[in-house]
Amino acid sequence: MIPEEAAYALLVLYDAPGHLVPKNKGLAGLQSAFEDTGHNAATFDAGLRHAVERGWLEKKEHSIVSLTKAGFEEIERRRRG
């Protein structure tokens, strides 16, 4: 899985039925939800880095990861195809 695909897989966790993640999520909880979908820790790290670089997710104090407006827009853009 390339980093962009992994990053999008992280974004989907903020919106996917059965894996709804609050807008602000602890890093450990986000990684656990990601691994529950069959991905591994290395893929998580690469995806998180890519999502942060693209501005889709933001790492905050106390290991909180937030979905940004750009991340929400990316989810919507991909839904529309």
Rounded Cα distance between 77 and 43, Å, is 23
Return the pLDDT at 26.
Answer: 83
Return the pLDDT at 81.
Answer: 80
Spell out the domains of the chain, with CATH numbers in brackets: 3-80 (1.10.10.10)
Instruction: For the chain, 81 residues long, give each residue's pLDDT as a single digit of tens.
Output: 799 999 999 998 887 655 455 566 788 988 998 999 899 999 999 999 999 999 999 998 888 898 888 998 998 898 888
